Amino acid sequence: MQKLQDADLLSIQQARLLSRSAKKAYQAFSDFSQAEVDTIIGAMAKAGLEHAQRLAQLAVEETGYGNVAHKTQKNLFSVQNVYESIKDLKTVGVIARDTDRKITEIAHPMGVVCAITPTTNPTSTVMFKSLVSVKARNAVVFAPHPAALRCSKEAAILMRQAAQSAGAPEGIISCMDPVTLEGTRALMASEDVSIILATGGTAMVKAAHSFAKPAIGVGPGNTPAYVDRSANLDKAARDILGSKTFDHGVICSSEQAIVVHQDIDNPFKQALQGLGAYFLNPRQTAKLAGLLIRAGTMNPAMVGKTPQFLAGQAGITIPEGTKLLVCPLEKVGPHTPLSREVLCPVVAYYVEKDWQLACKRCIEILNFGGLGHTLAVHAQDQQVIDAFAYQKPVFRILVNTPTSQGAIGATTSLTPSMTLSTGTWGGGISSDNISAKHLINIKRVAYETAPLQPEAESAPKREVLGEEDIAVLVRKVISELERGS
């Protein structure tokens, strides 16, 4: 007789069991010293470095997105750069003393982290969230995208084994399997979960914010890159093409639109073409748009694919060696499908007659799906850079650098992170690159610095005079007046 199984029920049961086990692990882990915690995350980072390529291979094989070389780089970044940024961070006991203000800060873990991870960066995000959660002495339970379950779970197992071999409690890192939408919802709703750290599609991020508990949600971006007439055009072209083609365009901070000053339109096009960009005509652009965008969303079968694959599927002939497909557009919005986020080596291209109009165009693009996320400016004119920085509704303004690498802190001094929060403009609680410091509670011991002053003594009461007293005073005054006369 065939054994029947309900995947949703199994996944819900997993959510309950793993969150319960994680809470026990967190409670034990909360007593660990800073030295013990640092030994554990050091072991985790080392394991990640050793298995970066293997996990990248698994991710490409399972999802079909991106390429092994670039996914290996992301894995290395997630354990090397991130580890270097947090290894000296104090997350245990007294983390700061302000003798002038007489305030002592004491770190305390948040508890169990429910970590939602995407298909686009499955293994790198799992390793990143494991490191920052454990550094803050939290336990973490992963609910990966079902289409990346195998590679995500393998990354979680690697992190768990490394952590436990270095002394971490059993259950400190775990991963749901099977994982379904209902199971993921059960995990987020679990009373044993303290905070939700969600990276994924818009629907999942909205769901993460719908539970009565803290949530840090990071959804899609729609990053514009403005190229000013004052820019170094060759460098801007290399930065943009290298960024948008990295891992076949699956990073959410990658450039989605290039907005150029019309004075440099032709030389910049030539610079892009010299690097392997192919500009589509209107007919080709329409055919590609029909392939990539279905019912207002990205066709998942086209995510992270090569230009050759995309062109073949769209029935377009492109030159051999093409690295990037560029689609000239004039409008932004639902009726211009390629003006939204496209997670593949395809980029929109706009030409504006001055930087002021380019500024407005970038705002229009951001309002159509990229609020709070990222914007790039390629310019040497500081006035232009300042104007873009002040006016754009984003929290990462990257100057003369590729956005895929710059936003995560690889080519800039931003905090190294695979979770880029979008602030209130993007529906988030933070505008930072998320790291371990966002996963600790801080107690503050405050000593008196402005003592209350004692109340002033009451004024003496006036003596109440009787009739005889008044008569004596009157006679005394009269007598003095008579002597004076």
HEC per residue, the chain: CCCCCCHHHHHHHHHHHHHHHHHHHHHHHCCCCHHHHHHHHHHHHHHHHHCHHHHHHHHHHHHCCCCHHHHHHHHHHHHHHHHHHHCCCCCCEEEEEECCCCEEEEEEECCEEEEEECCCCHHHHHHHHHHHHHHCCCEEEEEECHHHHHHHHHHHHHHHHHHHHCCCCCCCEEECCCCCHHHHHHHHHCCCCCEEEEECCHHHHHHHCCCCCCEEEECCCCEEEEECCCCCHHHHHHHHHHHHCHHHHCCCCCEEEEEEEHHHHHHHHHHHHHCCEEECCHHHHHHHHHHHEECCEECHHHCCCCHHHHHHHHCCCCCCCCCEEEEECCCCECCEHHHCCCCCCEEEEEEECCHHHHHHHHHHHHHCCCCEEEEEEECCCHHHHHHHHHHCCEEEEEECCCHHHHCCCCCCCCCCCCCECCCHHHCCCCCCECCHHHHEEEEEEECCCCCCCCCCCCCCCCCCCCHHHHHHHHHHHHHHHHHHC
**Active site (annotated) includes residue 252:** yes
Given the residues 151, 252, 327, 359, select the one marked as catalytic.
252
As annotated, the active-site residues are: 252
